[in-house]
């Protein structure tokens, strides 16, 4: 489903304003950007997690 959580309200507002195609295009762009944002978060936090695990491993060696 292209509309997602916005549902009928989005369709109704777009249709009423006479901009249904533009509203749907904008929503499709938003839905396409969501996976990119998730990957950015993973790319940011994955190295931190790895560094933390290395730090724990090294700290275990000192104790």
Overall residue count recorded for the chain in this entry: 63
| Alpha-carbon span 11 to 54, nearest angstrom | 50
**How many structural domains does the chain have?**
1
Q: How many CB atoms lie within 10 A of CB 15?
A: 11
| Each residue's pLDDT tens digit, 14-61 | 777 877 888 888 888 888 888 888 889 999 999 999 999 999 999 998
| pLDDT given at position 54 | 95
Is 2 contained in some domain? no
Q: What angle do CA 17, 22, 25 make, to 5 degrees?
A: 140
pTM: 0.48
Is 35 contained in some domain? yes
Give the structural domain span for 41. 7-62
From first CA to last CA, the distance across the chain in angstroms is 55
């Amino acid at each position: 489903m292209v509309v997602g959580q916005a549902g009928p309200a989005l369709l109704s507002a777009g249709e009423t304003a006479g901009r249904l195609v533009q509203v749907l295009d904008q929503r499709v762009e938003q839905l396409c950007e969501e996976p990119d944002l998730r990957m950015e978060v993973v790319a940011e936090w994955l190295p931190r997690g790895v560094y933390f695990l290395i730090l724990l491993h090294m700290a275990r060696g000192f104790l």
